[in-house]
Structure 1
Amino acid sequence: FQGYSGDVAQGVAYMIPTPVIRRFLTDIKDGHYDKYVDLGLTPGNLQNPAQRRYFGLPDDGRGVVVRTVIEAGPAGRVLKEGDVLLSIDDHAIASDGFVELEGERVEMPEVVERKFKGDKVKFEILRDKKPLTLTIELDTVWPYQVQAHHYDTRPRYVVYGGLIFQPLSLDLLDAYQISDPRVRHYFDYYILEQLYLQHPDIIVLTNILPDPTNTYLGPYRSSIVDEVNGKKIATLNDLAQAFAEASDRFVIKMIGQGPPLVLDRKEVESARERIRTRYNVIAEQNLEEQPVATKATASSGTPHS
């Protein structure tokens, strides 16, 4: 219902639980919000008797199996798929994934969500039917941030030859209403297929500032950058460095079939000031996420979030 508007939303409200508010206030005491930490794993219930015997578990109603692990997450450095989690911080994990916490049955992630970046969590596990005790230092899982909204931050981008390149994110999809199936696939399966391992940033050509140097390039809009002059592009920094090289032309290969997009360096350089002036492009690139200034200057050449 948070997406409702107008008459539909009249009188509608929702409550933020006290523990969430308390955690937020504790997190920002140092002036920086570190966000919620996460293990970066998907547990699976172990309630089937035959399945429990397979993993070497007694019929005591304890234990869940690690189904998937995000390599970029805290658990990825310690746990493996197939590990059986028996307890977390000395709280027994039931076969349905719940734990007893402060007199209530809650889902296992609740134990983690009450902690902060740098805190540790202890697990008792079975690995290949052998007991182990492991400790995990908690942090955010950065691939999750691609599929989350970001507030009060300037978008990351590179403008070259009037072409605007940006990393794929939930905010970007909302701003440009991109419906391209390939872009949607890379977004939807970014974590599930571990696409982040090859493409920490999914670089999308989001917009074109019309100029004689980029005529007839409209069909490339919403395409994903794969290579520039034969070099794989994994991050926005890679793209900026590629355009900074002294090449006569830049051959930009997009993911999928089709001819590459080609930019002539001399033509781009001659059009540079013209494009900046015409579209009020204040900065041709922003490689790092930055907070929005209190009084930001509007610019037609500034990309959307």
Structure 2
Amino acid sequence: MAIAAAPFRFTTLTSTATSRHYLCSSQRLFPSFSFRRPSSHLIVPKCETGKNADDNNRHLSNRKRRFSKKQSSSSLSPRKSNAEKEATAQKCRRSSKDDLHVSRADQRTKGKTECCQPTAYRSPFGLQKKGNKGTAFDAKEEQVEDAGNFQDSPFLNAVVKVYCTHTAPDYSLPWQKQRQFTSTGSAFMIGDGKLLTNAHCVEHDTQVKVKRRGDDTKYVAKVLARGVECDMALLSVESKEFWEGAEPLRFGRLPRLQDPVTVVGYPLGGDTISVTKGVVSRIEVTSYAHGSSDLLGIQIDAAINPGNSGGPAFNDQGECIGVAFQVFRSDEVENIGYVIPTTVVSHFLDDYERNGKYTGFPSLGVLLQKLENPALRECLKVPSNEGVLVRRVEPTSDASNVLKMGDVIVSFDDIRIGCEGTVPFRSSERIAFRYLISQKFSGDVAELGIVRAGEFTKVKAVLNTRVHLVPYHIEGGQPSYLIVAGLVFTPLSEPLIEEECEDHIGLKLLTKARYSLARFRGEQIVILSQVLANEVNIGYEDMSNEQVLKLNGTHIKNIHHLAHLVDSCKDKYLVFEFEDNYLVVLEREAAISASASILKDYGIPSQRSSDLSEPYIDIGGVNCPGEQHEFGDSPVSNSEFGFDGILWV
């Protein structure tokens, strides 16, 4: 997961260096750096359970009073008078503190989302699975029998506690994994034997268990789908005993400003269920900390703490209007929590229903600039106060076939785009243009109205998931690697940068990671991460984190291509060319002979990761002479408009 030092999305971050986005999960605490991606100005703190319990316990005593103040106003307790409520609210506001947290494991559809049934969840686009028993409950009274007896509300029993054991990859030593640790979070029933929670609650999971309210039995759960971008995960529990008497939650409409909201979950500070209340403060495109993406989000002022992640947020009718997932904390702000709205949740579920797996949110793949300045619009021959300027197009996107630098996009599916990059939203609101793209699915076609050299025309582009040259997350969980005579090669990724620390990566490599675009699908930046000292590689043992560009004169496309070149080489020498014309030459026969002893000396089970044992398929692409990548003038991300008025969509 990436971290951006320059705050591009949240305006509150521009005025303070102490602002942070937190995922309350079981990952490490990462420092910020000036080349961090703008869409992910995030920090993930350690979990308070498992192997990190001792470290976290040192902080618990200092934070306990603050958490207890927030929880006291929202736990299951008798109704209070207005005066008592106001006094408690003021007390909570005084106790709010700094630093943005995304509640982690202990830690993006217009209109109405359809309701769930007891034994079946309905896809928001009308798809429905039938269950074996139970009947649909449509009346709000069946969800909330008595507003005054909140503790006995049936929907509370649909919220469960999640226990996860994580085993994360060791990106510096890619043939092994790190020591396991545990964490807790929240989830809720949606029927058909399925639960919803946050993706960060079950990241790198080796075992997931869930426990119902008032029960002392933990049941094994299986992760069916994990949506990193939207921070959602779908779980299943096969045990029939777990589902006895269960009433899945109903999804409600997107709320309005100042609508009451109740967050339910199992946060830090106790083992029983916790309830916190607040109102909807804002609805806009928001940075998602875990996915380093921008999707629709609901900002609320109810307390969200570590462990609340994956828990539902309810409206006054007992309908689920979103999923708690992160909070923003700073010395200058108070009570800013975030909920994933049902529009994003329904997109995730419908994606899974359509494809049998999560495929992701699509991207247009263009870098845009606002057109607020009248002289700029006149120069570009834009007749009205609308549109955004295309500054750059990603080579891997379908938009590169129909859009050019200098085009002005004035409409998306006949919806007019304002000069600030916003479109109409509901009755009297406007929202970021990216919201329209997030409503599409991978493979959908969008019709763009553009102004080119003063002429208006319409073009069509296929929307696909974005290709990241340096990925935020590793598909499959384990990184690829190749060891040649003790030289360890691996693709550059954000987790590797975070684990190695940016000071060890080097400024030039960091610049490529932050500012370069993939020229074709499947392209990777392959680096020599370290050299395992041996007689065969004498003189090279101090090399680390250097990009390899060629092998025997052939440009390297990705790690699999490098393995193929090594295997098919018949020359006497293996000549690796790195940045700044640095050469590493190995005698091929000697390198092959030394491999077995090197693996034995360092306790490495295999010379390469299992994915590199598959036959290599040429992915195409171009072999460019000279510099491998052209640098852009802005960080590559899904960030909202930033300081210089740019937007990747």
TM-score (norm. length: structure 1): 0.84
| Aligned counterpart, 2:513 | 187
Query: In structure 1, what is the Cα distance between the partners aligned to 2:344 and 2:605?
Result: 39
For 2:521 and 2:394, the matched residues in 1 are separated by 14
Deviations 1:171-198 (A, max 9, x none): 221233333222212212223xx6x469
Structure 1 contact 156–166 (Cα < 8 Å) conserved: yes
Equivalent position SS for 1:285: coil
Q: How big is each residue's C-alpha offset from its partner over 1:223-270, in whole Å with a ceiling of 9 and x where there is no partner? A: 111222222223223311221211211111111144x11111121122
Cα distance in 1 for partners of 2:532, 2:474 equals: 25
Aligned to 1:204: 527
1:297 is matched with none
Letter in 2 for 1:4: P
Cα distance in 1 for residues equivalent to 2:408 and 2:474? 34
Q: Which residue of 2 aligns with 1:293?
A: none
Q: What secondary structure sits across from 2:344 in the alignment?
A: helix
- The question of 1:88 aligning with 2:412 is answered yes
Shift of 1:287: 7.7
Return the letter of the residue paired with 1:282: P
State the match for 2:45 in structure 1: 4
Query: Is the Cα–Cα contact under 8 Å of residues 469 and 523 in structure 2 kept in the other structure?
Result: no
Does residue 127 in structure 1 map to residue 452 in structure 2? Answer: yes
1:168 aligns with 2:492: yes
Question: Could you tell me whether the CA contact under 8 Å between 1:35 and 1:140 is conserved in 2?
Answer: yes
Report the identity percentage.
26
How far apart in 2 are the matches of 1:152 and 1:242? 24
Corresponding residue of 2:547: 224
Q: Where does residue 3 of structure 2 map in the other structure?
A: none
What is the Cα deviation at residue 151 of structure 1?
Answer: 5.6
**Which residue is 2:431 aligned to?**
106
| Contact 2:469–2:525 (8 Å) recurs in 1 | no
Q: After superposition, give the CA deviation of every residue in 1:99-153 in whole Å (9 maximum; x if it has no partner).
A: 11343411111101111111111111111111111111110121x2624223642
What is the alpha-carbon distance in structure 1 between the residues aligned to residue 508 and residue 591 of structure 2? Answer: 28
Q: Is 1:61–2:102 an aligned residue pair?
A: no
Q: CA deviation at 1:289?
A: 9.0
For 1:140 and 1:232, locate their aligned partners in 2 and report how far apart those are by CA, in whole Å.
Answer: 26
Please tell me whether the aligned partners of residues 388 and 420 of structure 2 are also in contact (alpha carbons under 8 angstroms).
Answer: yes
Alpha-carbon distance in 1 for matches of 2:426, 2:352: 25
Matched with 1:256 is 580
Q: C-alpha separation between the residues in 2 aligned to 1:150 and 1:249? A: 32
Q: Among residues 276, 296, 300, which one is paired with 2:599 in the alignment?
A: 276
Question: Is the contact made by 2:396 and 2:521 (CA closer than 8 Å) also made in structure 1?
Answer: no
Matched, 1:239 2:565: no
Q: 1:289 to 1:128 in 2, by over 3 A?
A: farther
Change (3 A) 1:61 1:42: same
Change (3 A) 1:239 1:151: closer
Distance in 1 (CA, whole Å) between partners of 2:477 and 2:433 is: 32
* Number of matched pairs: 284
Inter-partner Cα distance in structure 2 for 1:247 and 1:34: 42
Aligned partner of 2:344 among 12, 17, 20: 20
Cα contact 1:155–1:289 (8 A) shared by 2? no
Q: Decide whether the 8 Å contact of 1:37 with 1:112 is kept in 2.
A: yes
- The C-alpha deviation readout for 1:149-177, integer Å capped at 9, x for no partner, is 23642212211112110111112212333
CA distance in 2, matches of 1:214, 1:158: 15
Contact in 1 for aligned 2:469/2:513 (Cα 8 Å) = no
Distance 1:289 1:127 in 2: 45
1:74 aligned onto 2:418: no
CA separation of 1:31 and 1:173: change in aligned 2, threshold 3 A: same
* 8 Å Cα contact 1:74-1:141 kept in structure 2: no
1:214 Cα offset (Å): 2.1
Once the two structures are TM-superposed, the CA of residue 16 in structure 1 deviates from its matched residue by 2.4
AA in 2 matched with 1:132:
T
Contact 1:198 1:234 in 2 (8 A): no
Tell me the SS of whatever aligns to 1:146. Answer: coil
1:237–1:287 contact (8 Å) kept in structure 2:
no
The 1:31–1:276 alpha-carbon spacing in structure 2 relative to 1, beyond 3 Å, is: farther
**Deviation (angstroms), 1:275:** 2.5
Residue of structure 2 in register with 1:215 after alignment: 538
2 CA distance for matches of 1:130 and 1:289? 50
The gaps in structure 2 that reach 5 residues or longer are: 1-21, 24-43, 47-55, 64-100, 102-267, 269-304, 309-325, 327-338, 614-649
Which of 1 and 2 has greater Rg? Answer: 2
1:149 corresponds in structure 2 to 473
**Distance change >3 Å, CA 219–CA 209, structure 1 → 2:** closer
Any unmatched runs of 5+ in structure 1? 291-305
Q: Which residue of 2 aligns with 1:294?
A: none
2:418 counterpart letter in structure 1: A
- The range that moved more, 96-105 or 247-256, is 96-105
CA distance in 2, matches of 1:151, 1:19: 25
In the aligned structure 1, how far is the partner of 2:511 from the partner of 2:500?
Answer: 16
Root mean square deviation of aligned Cα: 2.5
TM superposition score normalised by structure 2: 0.41
Inter-CA distance 213–231: structure 2 relative to 1 (3 Å threshold)? same
Kindly tell me: are residues 115 and 185 of structure 1, through their superposed partners in 2, closer, same or farther at Cα, counting changes over 3 Å? same
**Aligned residues of 1:39 and 1:112 also touching (Cα < 8 A):** yes
* Correspondence for 1:285: 608
Q: Secondary structure at the match of 2:347?
A: helix
Query: Per the alignment, in what secondary structure is the counterpart of residue 186 of structure 1?
Result: helix
- Asked if the contact 1:158–1:287 (Cα under 8 Å) also holds between the matched residues in 2, the reply is no
- Structure-1 separation of matches of 2:610 and 2:554: 19
Q: What's the secondary structure of 1:201's corresponding residue?
A: coil
Secondary structure of the 1:149 match is coil
Distance 2:387 2:445 in 1: 20
